[in-house]
């Protein structure tokens, strides 16, 4: 089970050099990731506890392993 880092909170980042804009993350975590019509991926960097499971699923499903979660520790 994941616990939140109480000092900084969970955060997400995407490695632009790896991301190929497949959009899988958007289907897994629509509250966090959004692929815009202009082809850009937008995402919320600061996660709530509610978003964390979906964001973790998005990170696992990203075919390019481009999503990094920080501020999350294993309990």
Instruction: State the residues that interact with ligand SF4 by CB under 6 A.
Output: 14, 19-25, 41, 62, 64, 66-67
State the minimum distance, in angstroms, from the CB of residue 6 to ligand SF4.
Answer: 27
Residues sharing a CB contact under 8 Å with residue 6, sequence separation 6 or more, in sequence order = none
Residue 41 and residue 72: Cα distance in Å, rounded?
Answer: 23
Residue 46 or 65 having the CB closest to ligand SF4:
65
Query: Cβ of 62: how many Cβ atoms within 10 Å?
Result: 21
Residue 3 or 21 having the CB closest to ligand SF4:
21
Three-state DSSP class for 68? strand
State the minimum distance, in angstroms, from the CB of residue 74 to ligand SF4.
Answer: 23
State the minimum distance, in angstroms, from the CB of residue 61 to ligand SF4.
Answer: 7
DSSP state of 54: H
């Amino acid at each position: 089970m994941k616990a939140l880092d109480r000092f900084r909170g969970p955060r997400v980042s995407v490695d632009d050099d790896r991301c190929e804009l497949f959009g899988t993350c958007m289907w897994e975590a629509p509250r966090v990731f959004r692929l815009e019509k202009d082809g850009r991926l937008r995402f919320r960097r600061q996660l709530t506890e509610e978003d964390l499971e979906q964001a973790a699923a998005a990170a696992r499903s990203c075919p390019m392993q481009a999503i990094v979660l920080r501020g999350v520790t294993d309990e």
